[in-house]
Amino acid sequence: MLRVDILLLDLVVVLALARLLGYGARLVGQPPVVGEIVAGIALGPSLLGDVIGRDLFPEDILSPLKALADVGLVLFMFVVGLELDQRLVKGKGRVAAGVSVGSTALPFVLGCGLALLLVDDHAPEDKKLAFVLFLGAAMSATAFPVLARILTDRNMHRTRLGGLALACAAVIDVLAWTVLAAVVAIAGSGEGQWKIVLVVPFGLLMIFVVRPLLRRLVPSYERAGRLTPNLLSLVLLGMFGAAWTTEYLQVHFIFGAFLFGALMPRGGAAEKLNHEILERLEQLAVLLLLPMFFVVAGLSVDLTTLEASSVWTLLGILVVAIVGKLAGAYVSARFLGVPRKESAGLATLINTRGLTEIVILSVGLQKGVLDTELYSLMVVMALVTTAMTGPLLNLVYPREQVARDLAEAERAALGEHLVHRVAVVIPDLGHADALATAGAAAAAEHDSAELVLVHLPRYPGERLEVGLGLSEELAELTSILGRLESAAARVRTPRLPVQVHTRFSADPEGELDAFVSAAEPDEVVGPLIPSP
Amino acid sequence: MLRVDILLLDLVVVLALARLLGYGARLVGQPPVVGEIVAGIALGPSLLGDVIGRDLFPEDILSPLKALADVGLVLFMFVVGLELDQRLVKGKGRVAAGVSVGSTALPFVLGCGLALLLVDDHAPEDKKLAFVLFLGAAMSATAFPVLARILTDRNMHRTRLGGLALACAAVIDVLAWTVLAAVVAIAGSGEGQWKIVLVVPFGLLMIFVVRPLLRRLVPSYERAGRLTPNLLSLVLLGMFGAAWTTEYLQVHFIFGAFLFGALMPRGGAAEKLNHEILERLEQLAVLLLLPMFFVVAGLSVDLTTLEASSVWTLLGILVVAIVGKLAGAYVSARFLGVPRKESAGLATLINTRGLTEIVILSVGLQKGVLDTELYSLMVVMALVTTAMTGPLLNLVYPREQVARDLAEAERAALGEHLVHRVAVVIPDLGHADALATAGAAAAAEHDSAELVLVHLPRYPGERLEVGLGLSEELAELTSILGRLESAAARVRTPRLPVQVHTRFSADPEGELDAFVSAAEPDEVVGPLIPSP
């Protein structure tokens, strides 16, 4: 019988600790996921040990907790698939493909090499091959969501480097999940193993039958004008159905959920549909269920039983993971003509393992490929690589460089100007019309002039870790652009071209100066005192 | 170890069947909850029996399923508490209180009487008192969410009868949960029983400390301008914390969740906050987790083992539940001066047991007060009383009467008119300004005239069962009213008063005629062909 009082207490404790340590991580400049992983480990045997641990997480509560964690994981992997966006790779295909392969192949090979040293001590007799391949695959992951978060936090996702990093991470995502699925298939054992051959027809069915069917969701979404319960039910059914199928086929349910997300329709009205689905699933899944996953993952981490020899193993893992990834990415980026500094930044960014690694490791543990010791050490590796990204990035690609990149991107966007350029700074959209009119009046005093309306809104508060947040941002920017454009339309004449310019900023007042100097205006119109 | 393939399969099967039968229920004019309860029973031993049942729901999957169901139930009870709205009772306090007490007391007393007949066969030795009281309490429930759904489906929630029914249901809700909590407290047994005395200080703490703290959420919500992950986390923490506390105090977790929802801040910006919270929690909780509750509840229903004597018991239960509720409500309503027809309608409406009853019954089963047989019979009673509401209502309070009520309510709202009244029918808000101007021109030809702008939008598609849906509706109406008012403001002069009028309609074209005749205009302005 389920002990519901313990279940509820666990939910409260886990929720509170995950938020608290996530917040703490932010305070020291780390992505929240670092704190959340630590929260999971802290609740496990390493810290609480047998004293509180046995009371908080008795044996019979584990499978209910795991049920919640698994439902959260299905939703999460669907979101990861849904946010996979081919457009991220567009125009960067060559570099993205090259860097992805390079930054995956080297840690994979090195990981397999390390695995050969460890195989006798750690691998089960019947899974030696799977063990070697799994360790290789686990070394080559990159956490797309964490990466996206780091980029948006630093305002880097609109720079060339940011775009490149997102493109590489998207390709690595597909690569890593595919390789992992193959490894898990190999690792499968015993009866039912034959089902694995059905994976290929299942994949074809998904691509050639389910995907076209999913496209039909869009017109019925447009007709309803909103995400109806029926539509959301269909999506949930498909997601859990696909997850169940891959689990049944002896792979793992995460692949089905990911694939289903990746096959959701794109473009046009579908984007709005996806955005609404994200909005419904994300917060509850991420806030309530995913912390359960961290804890279930953390409960298996036991750092207390590590022996002296483990330190050497850990060192080996860290070297393979970090050096393999950094060198693989840097060398292949340089080889493809990416400048030195950007190559270093790129390598640093895709070294982030984050949540993705934890998911992969828990698959390995569950499939019996990893033992507890190696699992624990690999979790530490995930933690270290994620935590090192920020500080290392500050070294190889300082924030001033990012600011220069942004200014350059903006200068390129505005184009060269040969006429009198009037920049109108609009701190508050309510005054857009009045300020545009004032700008037009200033411009009218010159024979040939142009107007640039600028509005830099502040970033919308905290964002969720999972979920790029880009889609929400896009929706807001679109609405802001609409208002700017309507102000522009009022003053635009055949003789006065008007451009509008907006983007989110972490520090609107500070960045305004940078922007204004990048736009190289001949005249600036705006309220003297920026509104708070 | 959790068998995740079975868990996922169960999720898919339950989700699909619940939606399917819910849809089927709608086809035959029943609220979806009827189909969903049937889905839960169908998956249990009564229908699938041991053949498929054992494969789909093996022993060791029950506690993971129950974990999902319980998380869903916490969210659901929070929503029920959140949607409790004192304003529903405002101005109807006397009648609402009287009818609530009458319609609760009679079935309670009759239920206790019936229980005395059953106590020797069904009650455990040490819980005879709890058994009697519980059966009484279980007879007197009313399902507020189902009732609200029936009312909005019939467009009745804006009539006097609908308002009265909602007010009564709100009071009964509080009454029933309080009585049930007391009964459960009495039923508690063995060690830890003393904790029950802590319930009172806990309630006081919630009201005098937690409630004021919750009010502080509103300013920080206003500052952020949206529901941030931090705010939602706080609400989730509070909800699960309160749920855990009441469970720990030997009552039941549903009461804590309900109380926390009821203590959320109200009015002003808080309404927008609550609306956003609902939006996030409702769909996922209702679509994904609540069906699990129906199934867990249904798995305990076994109609195959019933004996001949059970038929008499069932008959007794049905008579007590239906006659007790109908007579109690009707007599007390008549006594308080409610007209005959409305009293009958009111009694019919609050006879709906729906989901609320299932929650109560599962508490009884879990606390060991009900045995499987009586539990099964009571579930049948819940089903019957819910399914009979619609047909019986058609008899005692036909739809034509509802239409008359609506027309009367609208006539009353517009007031008598002694001047030339011009009704402007606006099928499409985009033309509101133009049509208002046309109406003003028509009115200008008369010495003293008034203008009424009418817009009847179509109901926004399907609504969720749980969750009144009133809050969403309210938000939309407010935005529509804003646009109508801005059109009105353009033509309003000291000599031309302008009223605006809007409400949702299931059949805008048809009801427009009814409305226009109710408004008794001297002149109608509008496009000749109503836009589709």
The CATH number linked to B470 is 3.40.50.620
Q: Do A7 and B243 touch (CB under 8 A)?
A: no
Indicate if the alpha-carbon torsion angle B167, B169, B174, B175 is positive or negative. Answer: positive
User: Residue B238 has what pLDDT?
Assistant: 96
Last residue of a domain, one of A354, A370, A397: A397
Backbone angles phi, psi at B498, to 5 degrees: -125, 125
Out of A123-132, A388-397, A417-426, least confident range: A417-426
Q: Which amino acid is at B42?
A: A
C-alpha span between A465 and A145 (Å, rounded)? 7
Position A467 pLDDT exceeds 70: no
Nearest to B228 among A63, A279, A461 (CB): A461
H or E element in which residue A421 lies: strand A420-425
The domain containing residue A411 runs over which residues?
A: 401-525
Mean pLDDT, rounded, of chain A? 84
Residues 142-171 of A with CB under 8 A from B: none
How many domains does chain A divide into? 2
Is the Cβ of A524 closer than 8 Å to some Cβ of chain B? no
User: Residue A453 has what pLDDT?
Assistant: 83
User: Residue B50 has what pLDDT?
Assistant: 65
Task: Please check whether residue A146 lies inside any domain of the structure.
Answer: yes
Say if residues B121 and B316 touch (Cβ distance below 8 Å): no
Nearest to B241 among A12, A279, A461 (CB): A12
User: Residue A468 has what pLDDT?
Assistant: 46
Mean pLDDT value of segment B45-68: 82
Task: List pLDDT tens digits, range A334-345.
Answer: 999 999 999 999
Last residue of a domain, one of B397, B423, B447: B397
CATH assignment of the domain containing B110: 1.20.1530.20
Q: B461 to chain A: nearest residue by CA? A: A224
> Same structural domain for residues B391 and B415?
no
Six-digit token string for A198? 């059905």
User: Residue B475 has what pLDDT?
Assistant: 60
Q: Which amino acid is at B243?
A: A
What are the residues whose beta carbons fall under 8 Å from the beta carbon of B52, sequence distance 6 or more? none
Six-digit token string for A210? 């389910």
**Residues of chain A contacting B239 with CB distance shorter than 8 Å:** none
What are the residues whose beta carbons fall under 8 Å from the beta carbon of A530, sequence distance 6 or more? A425, A427, A508, A509, A512
pLDDT level of residue B460 (50, 70, 90 thresholds): low
Out of A302-311, B412-421, B489-498, least confident range: B412-421
Question: Which of B8, B228, B248, B292 to probe the A interface (max A CBs under 10 A)?
Answer: B8
Mean pLDDT, rounded, of chain B? 84
Q: Do B2 and A285 touch (CB under 8 A)?
A: no
Indicate if the alpha-carbon torsion angle B444, B450, B453, B456 is positive or negative. Answer: negative
Q: Considering only CA atoms, which of A7, A8, A42 is closest in space to residue A22?
A: A42
Rg (C-alpha) for chain B, rounded Å, is: 25
Task: Please check whether residue B315 lies inside any domain of the structure.
Answer: yes
Q: Do B236 and A15 touch (CB under 8 A)?
A: yes
Out of A191-195, A233-237, B471-475, least confident range: B471-475
> Same structural domain for residues A329 and A409?
no
Position B214 pLDDT exceeds 70: yes
Helix-helix angle A144-153:A160-187, to 10 degrees: 160
Position A309 pLDDT exceeds 50: yes
Position A160 pLDDT exceeds 60: yes
Position A419 pLDDT exceeds 80: no
Question: By percentage, how much of chain B surpasses pLDDT 90?
Answer: 33
Q: How many residues does chain A have?
A: 532
Say if residues B103 and B95 touch (Cβ distance below 8 Å): no
Six-digit token string for A368? 């019996």
C-alpha span between A172 and B436 (Å, rounded)? 59
Out of A388-392, A396-400, A411-415, B117-121, least confident range: A411-415
Q: Do B460 and A287 touch (CB under 8 A)?
A: no
Strand ranges across the sheet with B420-425: B498-502, B449-455, B420-425, B523-525
User: Residue B55 has what pLDDT?
Assistant: 82
Nearest to A284 among B5, B65, B281 (CB): B281
Is the Cβ of A55 closer than 8 Å to some Cβ of chain B? no
Out of A482-486, A518-522, B18-22, B356-360, least confident range: A518-522
Residues 94-153 of B with CB under 8 A from A: none
Task: List pLDDT tens digits, range B249-281.
Answer: 888 898 899 999 999 998 888 888 988 888 888
Is the Cβ of A76 closer than 8 Å to some Cβ of chain B? no
Nearest to A287 among B8, B66, B233 (CB): B233
C-alpha span between B438 and B348 (Å, rounded)? 46
Question: By percentage, how much of chain A surpasses pLDDT 70?
Answer: 90
Six-digit token string for B147? 């009732």
Task: List pLDDT tens digits, range B112-152.
Answer: 999 999 988 888 888 888 899 999 999 998 888 888 878 87
For the beta carbon of residue A289, count every other beta carbon within 10 angstroms: 24
Helix-helix angle A229-248:A62-82, to 10 degrees: 110
What are the residues whose beta carbons fall under 8 Å from the beta carbon of A72, sequence distance 6 or more? A285, A288, A289, A290, A292, A293
Task: Decide: helix, strand or coil at residue B372.
Answer: helix
User: Residue A531 has what pLDDT?
Assistant: 42
> Same structural domain for residues B175 and B208?
yes
> Same structural domain for residues A323 and A415?
no
Is the Cβ of A224 closer than 8 Å to some Cβ of chain B? yes
> Same structural domain for residues A367 and A409?
no
The size of the A-B interface in CB pairs under 8 A is: 152
> Same structural domain for residues A129 and A14?
yes
Position A268 pLDDT exceeds 60: yes
Task: List pLDDT tens digits, range B73-108.
Answer: 899 889 888 887 777 777 788 888 999 999 999 999
Task: List pLDDT tens digits, range A353-371.
Answer: 988 899 999 999 988 889 8
Task: Decide: helix, strand or coil at residue B434.
Answer: helix
> Same structural domain for residues A374 and A414?
no
Last residue of a domain, one of A397, A414, A436: A397
Say if residues A257 and A81 touch (Cβ distance below 8 Å): yes
Question: Which of B220, B284, B295, B458 to probe the A interface (max A CBs under 10 A)?
Answer: B284
User: Residue A405 has what pLDDT?
Assistant: 83
> Same structural domain for residues B25 and B127?
yes
pLDDT level of residue B530 (50, 70, 90 thresholds): very low
Is the Cβ of A70 closer than 8 Å to some Cβ of chain B? yes
User: Residue A49 has what pLDDT?
Assistant: 67
Question: By percentage, how much of chain B surpasses pLDDT 70?
Answer: 90
**Residues of chain A contacting B236 with CB distance shorter than 8 Å:** 15, 287-288
User: Residue B260 has what pLDDT?
Assistant: 95
> Same structural domain for residues A17 and A63?
yes
User: Residue B531 has what pLDDT?
Assistant: 42
Mean pLDDT value of segment B360-367: 90
Task: Please check whether residue A379 lies inside any domain of the structure.
Answer: yes
Phi-psi region of A214 (alpha: psi -120 to 50; beta: other; left: phi over 0): alpha
User: Residue A192 has what pLDDT?
Assistant: 66
C-alpha span between B136 and B122 (Å, rounded)? 15
Task: Please check whether residue A128 lies inside any domain of the structure.
Answer: yes
**Residues of chain A contacting B462 with CB distance shorter than 8 Å:** 228-230
Say if residues B140 and B176 touch (Cβ distance below 8 Å): yes
pLDDT level of residue B467 (50, 70, 90 thresholds): very low
Is the Cβ of A27 closer than 8 Å to some Cβ of chain B? no
Task: List pLDDT tens digits, range A77-94.
Answer: 898 888 877 777 777 888
Say if residues A143 and A353 touch (Cβ distance below 8 Å): yes
CA distance to partner chain B, nearest, from residue A245 (Å): 8
> Same structural domain for residues A130 and A243?
yes
